[in-house]
Amino acid sequence: MPSKNVTQAYSLISERGKTMMNSKFIMSSNCISSILKTIASIPVLTNYLIKCSQDFSFDQVMDRATSTSKFTLPAQQKEIVAFVTELLYKFDRKDIDLTKFIKIYYPSKNFEASYKMFTQDIIPPYIMAFNGIVREEETKDIHLSDVAQAPAHAAKTQATQYILALTELVTNDNNLKDELRDDYLLMLEGFLYSFELNRTKMIKVVWTGLKSVMAQYKPAVSYIAAIEKILATYALI
């Protein structure tokens, strides 16, 4: 029987996916960000993404997916998890223009109808692919090569002061909307927790999500730069 944590994690990512499917295009950026933040802040989901991403090449899968006029997801569930997550990151970072992508692969006279086709084609298989966390114990299968206690411990020792200072800054910033403050604090908590697990890949994934989420928060720029320098020094990114 799956643990309560695994069941709750799957339920939460499923809820985020359904919200995106029921939304309008104008809310797509918020929906994508919400999915990515959920993955980055919940260790069970992050662990599973790491496992799915082993020996995975986004460019190769993207070439296969776009080899015809119809966008086609890979057949394997783990590959779907890795591919769609990276695709959402690229939409979120504007590396791939979501509007152009939808117009090319989901053409329709009505753009909202195109967006609906896109979400219905991508999200249900993606959420179902995450169902793998219910069927297996992902934390037991993380390879020993993913564990690097010394660098992670050393980086945590130096980075914690910046993480805690940034947490205090966010907590006391009265100019922040409550929802945004909660998102920042959740990501910071998840990032600090990633050091506790001593898994380099998890630290990298959570850091990528945190940096993306807080990119527009100017008071955090110096803290983010300091943390990034520490992670780079210990080859964690």
**129 and 147 co-located in one domain:** no
pLDDT at position 55: 83
**151 and 100 co-located in one domain:** no
**126 and 13 co-located in one domain:** yes
Give the residue numbers spanning the domain of 109: 4-138
**127 and 179 co-located in one domain:** no
Alpha carbon distance, N-terminus to C-terminus of the chain? 35
How far is residue 214 from each of residues 9, 19, 27, measured CA to CA in Å? 23, 22, 19
**102 and 38 co-located in one domain:** yes
Q: How many CA atoms lie within 13 A of 210 on its CB side?
A: 30
pTM value > 0.85: no
Domain count, the chain: 2
pLDDT digits (tens, 9 = 90+) for 45-101: 888 888 888 888 999 999 999 988 889 999 888 899 999 999 999 998 889 999 999
**152 and 96 co-located in one domain:** no
| Residue 142 backbone dihedrals phi, psi, to 5 degrees | -65, 125
How far is residue 151 from each of residues 53, 146, 199, 224, 233, measured CA to CA in Å? 22, 12, 10, 19, 9
